[in-house]
Amino acid sequence: MKTEKISELTTNRLSVYLRCLNELAASGVEAVSSKTMAEQFNLNSAQIRKDLAYFGEFGVRGVGYNVEELRRQLIEILGLTVKRKVAIVGLGNLGTALANYHGFSQGNFEVVGLFDDDPAKLGNRTRAGLRIQSTQALTDAIRREGIEIVVIAVPANAAERVLEQVTEAGVRAVLNFAPVHLAAKPGVKVKNVDLTISLESLSYFLANPSSEAINIVDREFLRHEAAAGAAK
Amino acid sequence: MKTEKISELTTNRLSVYLRCLNELAASGVEAVSSKTMAEQFNLNSAQIRKDLAYFGEFGVRGVGYNVEELRRQLIEILGLTVKRKVAIVGLGNLGTALANYHGFSQGNFEVVGLFDDDPAKLGNRTRAGLRIQSTQALTDAIRREGIEIVVIAVPANAAERVLEQVTEAGVRAVLNFAPVHLAAKPGVKVKNVDLTISLESLSYFLANPSSEAINIVDREFLRHEAAAGAAK
């Protein structure tokens, strides 16, 4: 595997490819070309080949990719072979929604801790039965439970403080939903989620209704949930 | 402007570029090359040139892009010159969080309606003072107010019904947060938001801690909020 610059946009696309491959595998497809994959899921075939080439040679010219093999490789590249423990800090509306969002506690992610500063919320339980604890217990919990990912859903003015607390406790991966841009620290990955990007994409469609590609079903964000829902 | 296939991933990147340019403009930078922009914001310079080439020739070789001019063009391409009215359907935790998320009611988007089926919620007001209405009033409101974008935040089993109701009322852009994949209808853009993609990106970092690029500050999702927060 090459270790050159892999941008965040690339890893996001790898997640998208994995979802597509999951769907192909579920339909019994054994091999797929970048061209077919691009057409079926409204992606860019040159981009697919380029992204996957970062990680070595997967495809066979004229045959395409072996679906199972590529799935397995992407799962490994994305680090999805190991279960990651997740804590959510801030149990307002968004934090509570995330705590109940089953994509956050399935597959390779497990929400094991919920933390809030508000004494009125302590002891409350989410749908999954997790009890809300004081943020004073956060540092200990991170070390004791081996929490690797912290989701920040506190108000903007408290986000930086939470980031400091959890990175001091050893957390190296943070997903920030607070409406403030948090800068990463050395060796720590901070992913700031901006929900307005999705709105702008819709705005593009409204401004360019004739742009045919946008009329095609959006298959880019195929959900684990489709499969999970069917299994229920 | 070419009208060939523009993928959703491209429009997402255009949003990212616009955020970068907003920051450059705020710092007084007048011209920027794709190389400098790529380095500063941890993007791919070839990708930047390719994405922008879709929409015509912006850059001048050896000089780069005029920041103000490129901003103006991206704002136009993304359809951000017109105010878009937004309704949120489903005022559970996530819907309430979105209703209070100020990125959803600033700039070119304005949340003008909140709708829920639960009689207990009717009449409740969000922080912004909007009153929750019955979903029975949704169709009329869409037509009367000229709502262009509907955000679906209802439970999975109700999402398809809401999609049908709003598209029948003439809505052509839907942002779906319900944990189910909604397929688009002809002429209607449905964007399914999958929050687990962000978790997978963090998982990649945890699995590849030596990957230097990922240690660089994540500037891809620079926020309107940073500026908005400062203005408060």
Q: Cβ A184–B215 below 8 Å, yes or no?
A: yes
Of A94, A108, A202, the CB nearest to B149: A202
Query: Which pLDDT band, with edges at 50, 70 and 90, does B5 fall under?
Result: low
CATH number for the domain whose boundaries are A84-192: 3.40.50.720
**How far is residue A16 from each of residues A11, A70, A76, A190, A230, measured CA to CA in Å?**
9, 13, 15, 20, 20
Which residue in A96, A20, A99 sits closest to A65, CA to CA? A20
Q: Is the pLDDT of residue A213 over 50?
A: no
Q: How confident is the model at residue B216 (pLDDT cuts 50, 70, 90)?
A: very low
Confidence of residue A224 (pLDDT cuts 50, 70, 90): very low
CATH architecture of A8-77: Orthogonal Bundle (1.10)
Interface size, chain A vs chain B, as Cβ–Cβ contacts under 8 Å: 309
Question: Residue B47: phi, psi to the nearest 5?
Answer: -65, -40
Sorted by where each begins, the domain ranges of chain B are 1-81+213-232, 84-192
pLDDT digits (tens, 9 = 90+) for B193-215: 877 778 888 888 888 776 534 33
How confident is the model over B182-191, as pLDDT tens digits? 877 788 988 8
User: What's the helix, strand, coil split of chain B in %, to 5?
Assistant: 45, 15, 35
Closest by CA to A189, choosing from B200, B196, B50, is B200
Residues of A in contact with B78 (CB under 8 A): 200, 203-204, 207
For B166, the enclosing helix (H) or strand (E) is helix B156-168
Residue B220: pLDDT band with limits 50, 70, 90: very low
Residue A48 · residue A34 · CB < 8 Å: yes
Q: Which residues contact A110 (CB under 8 A, 6 or more apart)?
A: A83, A84, A85, A86
DSSP H or E run through B126: none
Residue B108 host element (H or E): none
What letter represents residue A68's amino acid?
E
Q: Which of B83, B218, B222 best probes binding to A when mutated, by most A CB atoms within 10 angstroms?
A: B218
The H-or-E segment that residue A228 falls in is: helix A224-231
Shortest CA gap A94–chain B (Å): 5
Residue B85, phi then psi, degrees to nearest 5: -85, 135
Task: Find the angle CA(B166)-CA(B171)-CA(B177) to the nearest 5 degrees.
Answer: 65
Q: Looking at the DSSP assignment, which residues form a beta bridge with residue A123?
A: none
Q: Which of A3, A92, A206 sits opposite B210 (nearest CB)?
A: A3
Chain A interface, best mutation among B83, B124, B204, by max A CB count within 10 A: B204
Comparing alpha-carbon positions, the chain A residue that sits nearest to B207 is A79
Closest CA to B183 of A24, A23, A217, A229: A217
Distance CA A32, CA A9 (A): 23
Q: Of the candidates B82, B174, B211, which has its C-beta nearest A3's C-beta?
A: B211
Burial category of B174 from C-beta neighbours within 10 Å (exposed 0-12, middle 13-18, buried 19 and up) = buried
A54: nearest Cα among A96, A94, A5, A87: A5
Q: Do A189 and B202 touch (CB under 8 A)?
A: yes
Name the nearest CA neighbour of B162 among B117, B132, B126, B130.
B117
pLDDT exceeds 50 at position B229: no
In terms of pTM, does the model score above 0.80?
A: no
pLDDT exceeds cutoff 80 at A30: yes
Please indicate whether, in this complex, the C-beta atoms of B42 and A107 are within 8 angstroms of each other: no
Taking contacts as CB-CB distances below 8 angstroms, the residues of chain A near B77 are 204, 207
Report the mean per-residue pLDDT for chain B. Answer: 82
Q: Give the least confident one: A159-173, B68-82, B99-113.
A: B99-113
**Mean pLDDT confidence for B79-92:** 93
Question: Which residue out of A4, A93, A151 would a mutagenesis test of the B interface target, given it has the greatest number of B Cβ atoms within 10 Å?
Answer: A93
Q: What is the pLDDT of residues B8-28, one digit of tens each?
A: 778 888 888 988 898 899 889
pLDDT digits (tens, 9 = 90+) for A116-156: 999 999 988 877 789 999 999 999 999 999 999 999 999 98
CB contact under 8 A, A229 and B179: yes
Question: Chain A closest CA to B215's CA: distance in Å?
Answer: 6
Q: What secondary structure letter does DSSP report for A130?
A: P
For A179-204, write each residue's pLDDT tens digit.
887 877 788 988 888 777 788 888 88
CB contact under 8 A, A3 and B215: no
Level-2 CATH architecture, domain B1-81+213-232: Orthogonal Bundle (1.10)
- Compute the Cα dihedral for A119, A125, A127, A130 and give only its sign: positive
Q: For position B210, what pLDDT does the model report?
A: 62
